[in-house]
Structure 1
């Protein structure tokens, strides 16, 4: 190869490399109310919007597509053809506009799954929820898409958090059973997915082992997280998902 040809290839490489570096990545979010932004005073304060703003500040080539919808369970984001799930009071079915197939149709580089509490709230066993996560994640990874999954988050289940609890003032036993599942679910997600799991539970939960939302992070309804909590979640997403 002549020197001029080598020089031309070098110039081409130098021109193309910055274009590749500025291309950014496409990230799709699958989730429910937390990812949609419930609980914050203004939408821009949700963890998803904060993350999108952060990415744009790093590189305008980054793109986030948020398919999250309040109230959704893992069955809503399962692959097309998944049988509907009957909870006994209502039927949970796949939403073809917000599920894993729709997410993959955007040819994403990364998918973030944030389904923290609705499965438990609908009485879906943890084993079923974890199985659904595996199905969704395996499908994405089969397409060479990286997936990060958040843990559960604390939930008050209609009880007012008034610590400390004593022998004469205990949480409702039936509701406490549900709250305990969020800790078990979070631990299992962290165990199974390791570096690809994002902790949305630790530090946001009360320190008395009762599983309530810390008052400083409660939006006021005992279910959704406030602006301060979403700022914490954003930092955890940003720190966990490294930018290429």
Structure 2
């Protein structure tokens, strides 16, 4: 069974950077058997009903502003897989989770920044999925759990977001110092994830130190719970990488087996 992952996508400019995190992601792909397809939950695709991409091919969406012009020239011409999209819809419906198929939306940067670092050839079919910030944390986990059987079919499951992701607290000057509040939140999170403590994780916004600073809005945290849910059969979580940019932006990768 192929592992699933939560992967932080950082700032859009990560796609053009060379640092320890981008090197890690490039190496990670080389260590995995090539998947049949990739199913990716993106923090930058929000909807009130679960959406599944059924597109046969994708445009590249530049859903950001103010970055270097080279970033707006990046293309990630991945293909889709409508059969797997329908299979995902069926799996969700079996658990009474409503889901629709979107045949027109392209790939946002939450998807292509990560995918371009992992698989730059864009030669693996991608099925993108939305996130819904209006669900409970337990419901987020249940969506991931409903799709856990896809891992047995050699499909790579990814949640793309960020554990500490507060744009208002970023220090753009490039300081190497990491803010203590960000470290404390991620440390708490590491303890609960490795212990698979769902009771605590589902209440992270009340129990974790500096949760409000780390997660001012939930859409970037939700993919972590979705990815964790895909690992429910075995319940093994391990931290593969963690580094920081701009004082607090967490670049972390969690593996679920």
TM-score normalised according to structure 2 size: 0.35
TM-score normalised according to structure 1 size: 0.36
Structure with the larger strand share? 2
Structure with the larger helix share? 1
Q: Which has the higher contact order (CA 8 A, sep 6+)?
A: 2
